[in-house]
Structure 1
């Protein structure tokens, strides 16, 4: 990453920290702070609940962790049909708190018919009549963007569902800088969900350009991979100690905590931690006591990133 670009991002850190302090001041003691979501008027907890946390868990355990999250101040929940049985687990667990929570869901459908089918199935499993944010899932290839925005594409489902009251806002998740920039230029999206990560920013220059464009357009910024570190070694890709995490997370708990604080020091609304419960609980702990990184902490964290293989590169279609 060029030093000039990095210094720009460091300046943004101070602004985001100030925003967080303001939000925290108006928040009950030890509750997770909230930040505004772009131009939507919504305010989300700075930590989101990723649906993978409850994937393959017992219904009772799912209810307990959702209840705990809400009690600690989490109001942002994110789910997708591709997360195994997570929708089936999250729906009943979130039901008692649904009216006070912001529920985001996704579709892998690229055309009108398959995206509509996924939406209706998600609403059924999530036991709700609407989702607050509906996102194109992993809108990574330019060909996918062309499909969803073209004739008969999934955007037709999104816009119709919005008129029907089944969704409120439209967004996308992405792992390609090229596609992210094109998407934001071609449609007035409400949100973008993408990796904001210390290794990716410093070692691959992946993310700053998306962050900048989203800020220019007032799009709500949601962060992925805040606690990510690198790829798994070749001999561990199919058999590693984190079954809910396809990448190798930052070392637990110190490095992961620093990574999350680094992400929250940028002008993002919220970060989604890895799906492993221990990382999610750590994220809630960090969020309840959030403080921006000191200069020496940031220097130490970025030193750990030097030479590390990033999980994405610019131009990747993955």
Structure 2
């Protein structure tokens, strides 16, 4: 549970961010896009993750279903997919599916370094390229700030070599956000990736506005709190105002909450089901949530 002052601070921060130079344009699919501040490149606001969902056996029925998930994703206007070499082989499955579907050129591919020395990072990076069946990625992130003082300079070397176009850092817990903010203040970054959801809105108080000020793009993880939010709303109706903003499911509501903050570039929910992928993409269309609607959700789930 959050103290009332935390809820009020988050709501106040949302009010300050009602306008932003990075706000939405429309992709050809109708999905909203946000621009990466360091380059102006536009990305769709709904992306995808691979943790858990892509940890399957190649050729299995689950693997075939993931092919349908990716087809729905790309045909629906998605591009950003986030993976990691320590997601139980998910990057290998993703790489194989991207190759089989001919989707590498459509994919904004984000992966991570999760290593404790530069030698380990170099070996891991080579393994990631093999698994992902590519010679470069779009975004290379330091996973959960692991040995970031060593790995961030290495990621920048890879950027200079043309092996990645962007570099960033990640975390997934509220407890890591203060350190993420310190790094954003002191280091030039293209991206951060953090948690932000109706029941964990703390990033809106300081970190998201800071990223706007510093020109840093933001990926959002754990918008569903690893599925726990769905358990909380089981058999509950959507808010009465949901249909006014085109929301037809709780998943859409949770995702639309995240992208309604103008500092957010893309949210990256994971799914292994094509129907859920199609449902999630629907969250990436206007209208977005008003400040009052966002605040009501924070109070409901806080």
Give me the TM-score of the superposition, normalised by structure 2. 0.80
User: 1:279 and 1:224 mapped to 2: Cα distance?
Assistant: 17
Which of 44, 63, 68 lines up with 1:64 in the alignment?
A: 68
- Give 1:214 deviation, angstroms: 1.0
Give me the TM-score of the superposition, normalised by structure 1. 0.76
Aligned to 1:157: 154
User: Which structure carries more relative contact order (alpha carbon 8 Å, separation 6+)?
Assistant: 2
* Unmatched 5+ stretches in structure 2: 1-5, 235-247
Q: Secondary structure at the match of 2:166?
A: strand
Which of 89, 111, 119 lines up with 1:105 in the alignment?
A: 111
- Do 1:258 and 1:301's aligned partners in 2 also have CA atoms closer than 8 Å? no
- Cα gap change, 1:17/1:226 in structure 2, threshold over 3 Å: closer, same or farther? farther
Aligned to 1:260: 255
Cα displacement string for residues 28-74 of structure 1 (whole angstroms, at most 9, x for unaligned residues): 3x532221012133211101111233321633222221122111000
- Cα gap change, 1:200/1:292 in structure 2, threshold over 3 Å: closer, same or farther? same
List 4+ stretches of structure 1 deviating above 6 A: none
Aligned to 1:195: 195
- Give 1:281 deviation, angstroms: 3.6
| Correspondence list, 1:136-215, <5 A | 136-139=142-145, 144=146, 147-149=147-149, 153-174=150-171, 175=173, 176-201=176-201, 205-215=202-212
* Unmatched 5+ stretches in structure 1: 229-244, 307-318
Aligned to 2:265: 269
User: 1:5 and 1:91 mapped to 2: Cα distance?
Assistant: 38
User: 1:226 and 1:195 mapped to 2: Cα distance?
Assistant: 7
- Give 1:256 deviation, angstroms: 3.1
| Correspondence list, 1:82-121, <5 A | 82-95=86-99, 96-121=102-127
- Do 1:261 and 1:290's aligned partners in 2 also have CA atoms closer than 8 Å? no
- Give 1:105 deviation, angstroms: 0.3
- Do 1:16 and 1:265's aligned partners in 2 also have CA atoms closer than 8 Å? no
Aligned to 1:48: 47
Alpha-carbon RMSD across the aligned residues, in angstroms, is 2.5
User: 1:265 and 1:94 mapped to 2: Cα distance?
Assistant: 30
Aligned length: 270
- Cα gap change, 1:190/1:62 in structure 2, threshold over 3 Å: closer, same or farther? same
User: 2:10 and 2:282 mapped to 1: Cα distance?
Assistant: 31
User: 2:126 and 2:19 mapped to 1: Cα distance?
Assistant: 40
Q: Secondary structure at the match of 1:47?
A: coil
